[in-house]
Amino acid sequence: MTSKQAPRVGFVSLGCPKALVDSERILTQLRAEGYAISPSYDDADLVVVNTCGFIDAAVEESLETIGEALAENGKVIVTGCLGAREDGAMVRNAHPNVLAVTGPHAYEEVMHAVHDHLPPLHDPFLDLVPPQGIRLTPRHYAYLKISEGCNHRCTFCIIPQLRGDLVSRPIGEVMTEAENLVKAGVKELLVVSQDTSAYGLDLKYTTDFWGGRPLKTRFLDLARALGELGVWVRMHYVYPYPHVDEVIPLMAEGKILPYLDIPFQHASPRILKAMKRPASSENVLARIKAWRDVCPDLVIRSTFIVGFPGETEEDFQDLLDFLDEAQIDRAGCFKYSPVEGAPANELEGAVPEDVKEERWHRFMAHQARISEARLEARVGKRMTVLVDEIDEEGAIARSWADAPEIDGNVFIDGATHLEPGQFVEVEITEYGEHDLWGVLVTD
């Protein structure tokens, strides 16, 4: 991997507050996928112009802005109300060189056009959003990025070199964005950052305002405020710090989803030390147990690295034992690979590729057994699920236990009449290694 620059997108937003909400939605997605937002035309790799086409003056202003962006930058994607006029012909006739034209509320189409003309950089060690999420983000869920950068110095990671130390967004700004996403129809907010539990540390947890109300820029206040929006709130990239304990009761009360994505990466104390991970494995098991005592529904998803330099069979066995004891519901696993510029490259004891491969397969098989047993326990239970898509066989949905793209699904065979973004109640009838099947509850 090389430390490439993030692709840069310029953005011009014209028109009414509804267009502004669309712009915020697209900007949020761009930022969550690792694009940088450029304040000037010449510094951007491409420009998105969100237009207004309501009255003649607005049409004129929009067409002029597109012309200016083409002259200054050359690569322009047009969206918004003017894009819908005459099926895009009004824009194309005036400016045949635009890369794509879409209408209002066309988040997915705009993101597709951006991906086609300016592909995102994706690396599983660097990115917050899964690669599948980059291809298509349905409008009913959205990633909410609360900070950039990281204060830790894990030896396999170059994020602090690339993105610097933690810089949190003030809570008022984050909450306004979250509120706008909910107004735009988002039903699930996925909170992402490099270290969600450290949110606000750099700002000394300063007080900010949301709708005139004072809130501290810190994890607990954010969780509480997001929990008031009436949508699903899912926390990613949380470390098991003591103050996370305070958020678990909000999960038990149904304010935010009882789901934590904690990137443990390993469990052997020796390897965690060599990785310089922020939270050691000591007390982690006790902490997870205490969390589950408060909130029995809590689902934990994690990611792990196998084959880190110096990892012995004993270390690897520690990791498998940890999965059993912690009863990790969902886990992703990467085989260690050196990242250009990462301190771990200097460590001795490189693990041969065939050993990494073998451990990876053992890890996946082991985790699949745990996941399957945990899913089996859900048979006969009722769950609220959010429908993601409909295919010819029925509805593909998720429960609180599944983040989009990275976890499993709840399939509802035959329910082709449902719509993406709809919440429904199901009774679970079958289970597999990663997925569940259910029937609609009609009473």
Q: Which residues are near ligand SF4 by CB under 6 A?
A: 150, 152-154, 157, 159-160, 194-195, 278
Pick 79 or 303: Cβ nearer ligand SF4: 303
In angstroms, the CA 17 to CA 21 distance is: 6
Pick 52 or 272: Cβ nearer ligand SF4: 272
**DSSP result, 191-246:** EE-S-GGGTTGGGTT-EEEETTEEEESSHHHHHHHHTTSSSEEEE-S----GGGGG
Cβ at position 156, least distance to ligand SF4 in Å: 7
Q: Are 240 and 284 in contact (CB under 8 A)?
A: yes
Cβ at position 196, least distance to ligand SF4 in Å: 11
Cross-strand pairs, 143: 190
Cβ at position 392, least distance to ligand SF4 in Å: 41
Q: Are 363 and 335 in contact (CB under 8 A)?
A: no
Pick 334 or 423: Cβ nearer ligand SF4: 334
Cross-strand pairs, 384: 425
Tokens, residue 405: 């793209």
Cβ at position 126, least distance to ligand SF4 in Å: 8
In angstroms, the CA 289 to CA 285 distance is: 6
Pick 319 or 428: Cβ nearer ligand SF4: 319
Pick 66 or 157: Cβ nearer ligand SF4: 157
Give 55's DSSP letter: S
Q: Are 418 and 424 in contact (CB under 8 A)?
A: yes
Residue of 94, 25, 26 lying closest to 59 (CA atoms): 94
Pick 152 or 292: Cβ nearer ligand SF4: 152
Pick 238 or 251: Cβ nearer ligand SF4: 238
Pick 35 or 239: Cβ nearer ligand SF4: 239
In angstroms, the CA 214 to CA 27 distance is: 26
Cβ at position 301, least distance to ligand SF4 in Å: 15
Contacts of 3 (CB under 8 A, 6+ apart): 158, 161, 162, 340, 341
In angstroms, the CA 51 to CA 30 distance is: 18
Cβ at position 155, least distance to ligand SF4 in Å: 9
Cβ at position 160, least distance to ligand SF4 in Å: 5
Helix, strand, coil fractions of the chain, as percent rounded to 5: 35, 20, 40
Cβ at position 303, least distance to ligand SF4 in Å: 10
